[in-house]
Amino acid sequence: MQSLFHIQRRPDRSALSSIGLVLGALALAIVAGGVFILLMGQNPLEVYAQIVRGAFVGSVRNPLSAIQSTVIIFVPLLTVSLGLSLAFKMRFWNIGGEGQMLCGAIFATYFALYHSDWPQGVLLVVMFLAGVLGGGLYGLIPALFKIKWGVNETLFTLMMNYIALYTIEYLQGGPWQRTPGFASIGSFDENVALPKVGGVHVGWILALALMAVLAVYMRRSKQGYEVSVVGESQATAKYAGMNVKWVILRTMFLSGAICGVAGMVQIAGSDFTLSTGLTGNVGFSGITVAWLAQLNPLGIGVISALFSILEKGGRTIPINVMSADASDVLQGILLFVFLGAEFFRRYKITFTPPKKTRKEEEAA
Amino acid sequence: MDMFLKFLTAAIVSATPLLFATLGEIISERAGCLNLGVEGMMWMGAFAGFYAGLRTGSVVLSLVAAFGVAALCAAIYAFLTISLRANQNVTGLTLTTFGIGLSLVLGNAMTQANGGTPSLPTAFTDKLAALSHLLPAGAAAQQSSIVQFLLSFYPLTLAAIVLCIAAAVFYKKTRTGLAIRATGENPAAADAAGVNVSVSKYLSVILGGGICGVGGAFMSLIVANGLWNPSGIVGGVGWIAVALVIFVRWKPLLAVGGALVFGAFQTMRYFIPNAVLALPVAFYQMLPFLLTLVVLVATSVRKKSQTGEPGAIGVNYFREER
């Protein structure tokens, strides 16, 4: 039997048609999300309006409070997504953003607990470097195993997340426990606090700066070029004389280090304690953000912002209307639609014209 | 029963959902589809099984709902990765976010409609309870401890073990099983040999997802004592299952033993007195993941052919791009 259609790779779509596809997918996602809300017995327009209102409109006393909370969600998501995108560009499946973030936070917490008497500037810089080192080393481990024995990095980094997580649980109930019988390390000294700019800790400037730096690094630098060549084909990279193993190690250190910084910023800017919940799952959602943005730093910024709005706005939906987890469902729907739309960007379907019958051929 | 048998009983209970999830994921991965949505599918199965049980009171409908809804979730994954060629890691993770979110939203709606935490009637849960419930009340306590131990099995546990044996026979002894393994190992070769790669992958992913869903239902119906308590239903079992698949080297029969070992880790800390061995709780929780890492590395150091890892795992197959 002849198949009804076949699938062809399409040459790159024009910018205009790509934008059209994105807008079309967005519209489809909004409609599909609306159907979900409708099925839950609620008015989609009201719920959507509530999400936007909840993300932007603060209280009467502090009109900026909502935006500030949205930004606080945005900072770790953007930072971790950027870090992960670096590894993904190399086709290294770093699913370990959670663990790298936690490990960076653990390293930084050591100084927050035992050297809180240092001058604030020095302490914060040291904590920052500790975050870089903790996350970087944690990212380096799977890379080492990958280049030495070819250990599957997806599964390796996934397992390492839990090792970091339970290490924190151990620290909370063990050596770093504040009060006996209560598994918590308590609040940091007041000295441990990132300065605020515009009512939000300075992490947002850091994250935006990182976005700009990475955009240049990926497009303009030799190292960034090496990352994409290794990602495209290790054989090509070797043939071109690149030290593939070194590129993998360096990139994974950077990828982990950026996640580690996100962990440090989270504890020193927002949480002021070390807990397993500090990641807010961004190690996982960052993967989807980076992928959705096709690893483009600017796109990562836009999508992180969108997800943060969904998350913050979702939390303001009253519980008798819908659980705040509805934002996860909407996020999932959005991702499903975009994952599907990606296909239509890369391929086109051609329908095979029905075979002419003999009569028609004779007539022609 | 003596202490050891009690420990074993507890280990088997926590091993059962793991076994379902692990078998489901093995079936999916054997066809080359690394579905990281196990946790999400388990949550959906947990909710669907609970809700159907609450509304109909029928065990069969409850399990069918759990299987069906999770299989439907797996079908989304299958459509996106197999037909639309989306990235497997990202799609699977999205499925987890989506599944957990949706089951919590629906669970909340169920709780609101119920005017409080819904609980399943004992008439319902008894039908799924341990075999000892088949005997008249008090009869089980008079048996010898070995018999008591055997009576402490849940019917679903036995079903999971039977399914694993069936899967092992299917993959080893049947032509269809061989064909499916081939699609996970080398889809181009399977395609050339006349295997319909897409159908084989679709069926594997959907069947595997449904089985994960039954594992989730075991947690909401039995482990959670018939109460819908969103904070403690699936809680990471799906991720442990992803680890366990590696630990048992993609072999359904080994999964039975592997699940028992991991189940033992989860319950061990309640049975080892602190006076004997005072290890932090976190250590026991970390152990499954640590051991999986060791196994992952150890098998990678050996030859690839011995790891059991399907050759084309995580890689989508496009005939046009061979």
Looking at per-residue confidence, does A8 or B38 come out higher? B38
Examine residue A334 and state whether it is found in any structural domain, yes or no. Answer: no
Question: How is residue B183 written in tokens?
Answer: 């699609």
Q: What is the pLDDT of residue B302?
A: 75
Query: Could you say which of A155, A160, A336 has the minimum Cβ distance to residue B94?
Result: A336
Tell me the Ramachandran region of residue A314: left when phi exceeds 0, alpha when psi lies from -120 to 50, beta otherwise.
alpha
| β-pair type (A5-9, A196-197) | unpaired
Q: Which element (helix H / strand E) includes A28?
A: helix A15-39
pLDDT digits (tens, 9 = 90+) for A192-237: 889 988 888 989 999 999 999 999 999 899 999 999 999 988 889 9
Residues of B in contact with A160 (CB under 8 A): 289, 293
- Give exposure, B83-109, as e/b (b: 16+ Cβ within 10 Å): ebbbbbbbbbbbbbbbbbbbbbbbbbb
pLDDT digits (tens, 9 = 90+) for A64-118: 889 999 999 999 999 999 999 999 999 999 999 999 999 999 999 999 999 999 9
Residues of B in contact with A170 (CB under 8 A): 280, 282-283, 286
Placement of tokens 């290490």 in the chain? A167
Residues of A in contact with B278 (CB under 8 A): none
Query: Could you say which of A162, A329, A335 has the minimum Cβ distance to residue B105?
Result: A329
> DSSP assignment, residue A107?
H
Assembly ipTM: 0.89
Examine residue A50 and state whether it is found in any structural domain, yes or no. Answer: no
For chain B, domain boundaries: 3-321
* Cβ burial, residue B316 (10 Å; 0-12/13-18/19+): middle
Q: Can you tell me the distance from the alpha carbon of A254 to that of A275, in angstroms, rounded to the nearest whole number? A: 24
Examine residue A80 and state whether it is found in any structural domain, yes or no. Answer: yes
Q: Which fold, B3-321?
A: ABC transporter involved in vitamin B12 uptake, BtuC (1.10.3470)
Q: What is the pLDDT of residue B270?
A: 79
Helix/strand number for chain A, H first, E second:
14, 4
Q: Quote the number of domains for chain A.
A: 1
Please indicate whether, in this complex, the C-beta atoms of A331 and B286 are within 8 angstroms of each other: no
Q: Can you tell me the distance from the alpha carbon of A34 to that of B242, in angstroms, rounded to the nearest whole number? A: 33
Domain range for A279 is 70-306
Q: Which residue of B has its CA nearest to A157?
A: B293
pLDDT digits (tens, 9 = 90+) for B268-318: 877 877 667 777 888 888 888 898 888 888 878 876 556 677 878 878 887
**Which of A:306-345 have CB within 8 Å of B?**
319-320, 322-323, 325-329, 331-333, 335-336, 339-340, 342-343
Placement of tokens 């504040």 in the chain? A178
pLDDT digits (tens, 9 = 90+) for B158-213: 999 999 999 999 999 999 999 999 999 899 999 998 899 999 999 999 999 999 99
Q: Can you tell me the distance from the alpha carbon of A38 to that of A41, in angstroms, rounded to the nearest whole number? A: 5
> Sorting pLDDT into bands at 50, 70 and 90, what band is A161?
very high
